[in-house]
Amino acid sequence: MGSPKKKSTDESLARGLGWFSIGLGLAAVLAPRGVARLIGVRGYHGLIRLVGFREITSGIGILARSKPTPWVDARVAGDAIDLGLLGAAFSQTGSDVNRLATATAAVAGVTAMDVLCSTRLHRYQRGLDPFIHITKSIAINKPKEQLYQFWRDFQNLPRFMRHLDSVRVTGERRSHWVAKAPAGKHVEWDAEITEERNNEYIAWRSLEGADVENSGSVRFETGPKGRGSVVTVELHYKPPGGRLGATFAKLLGEEPGQQVNEDLRRFKQLIESGEIPTTEGQPAGRKSSTSPKFDKFAKSLAEA
């Protein structure tokens, strides 16, 4: 976990960048001609004013928020744009190359400071809470008691959880899970039920040695006006490689938030109709399972 002293230092750096951003922005908005002469370009007064407004906005955002990280990130993005504009100005007729070189070096120095500040803030936040948190809900036109009964038999879960290979019950409150991971990998963990209320609530957590540390819960509630049910899943997990690993997983279509949405939709289809509709080219969707016993049970739920 990041130390309070380090957090104070990083946030002080962010505040300094915020005031610098406001000062630079005011200069660009109030005196664009002077800024143009200073950096060695002719014209572009409207563009310089726009850059000034962006700087003021970023500065105010940094100073006004208790968590300035997004606004420091915005400064980094703005720096990249500024460096691109300065690079293009070198080819413009009438530009003062020496002044442009000095301005580019100055912006590059500020960029390095912004990147350093952003990196430290992100690192501190990861140290405080390395977990990703997900909450998803869905309405299902079946009584909550039936939904709970189906879900509580964890070995049923791979029937609609596309990225789950298997769940094996190993004890009264313990089970072993195997799931698909990005790039054709697999992850495994043992889990235990930490809290349970019949027909209403199940909470669990992974045990020591898990490939992916995780915990979560599923809640079953009667729907509005007593019609059907609402199922709410909460998931907390620590991705391998931290939040950067989670970002790459999301780009590959393997982000757990997406998975939970899809799994709940498939759960709804299975419980309400007794099957998961499928089309050719989607082998994960199937009209029946590989277990006749399960198919009979699912059909009975759908007909209830």
Q: Looking at residue 25, what is its pLDDT? A: 82
Q: Looking at residue 3, what is its pLDDT? A: 45
Q: Looking at residue 2, what is its pLDDT? A: 46
Do 218 and 151 touch, CB atoms closer than 8 A? Answer: yes
Whether 1 has a pLDDT exceeding 50, the answer reads no
Q: Looking at residue 290, what is its pLDDT? A: 45
Domain 132-303 classification at class level: alpha beta
Q: Looking at residue 29, what is its pLDDT? A: 87
| Residue 106 CB partners (closer than 8 Å, separation 6+) | none
CA geometry: angle 135, 165, 241, nearest 5 deg:
60
Whether 37 has a pLDDT exceeding 60, the answer reads yes
Q: Looking at residue 19, what is its pLDDT? A: 87
Top mean pLDDT of 98-107, 148-157, 240-249 is at: 148-157
Do 275 and 297 touch, CB atoms closer than 8 A? Answer: no
| Better pLDDT: 11 or 147 | 147
pLDDT tens track for 187-223: 899 999 999 999 999 999 999 988 888 899 999 999 9
Q: How far is CA 76 from CA 111, 117, 183, 201, 286, in A?
A: 6, 10, 31, 45, 47
Domain boundaries, the chain: 4-128, 132-303
pLDDT tens track for 138-156: 999 999 999 999 999 999 9
- Taking alpha carbons only, the member of 294, 168, 185, 58 closest to residue 177 is 168
| Residue 149 CB partners (closer than 8 Å, separation 6+) | 199
Domain 4-128 classification at class level: mainly alpha
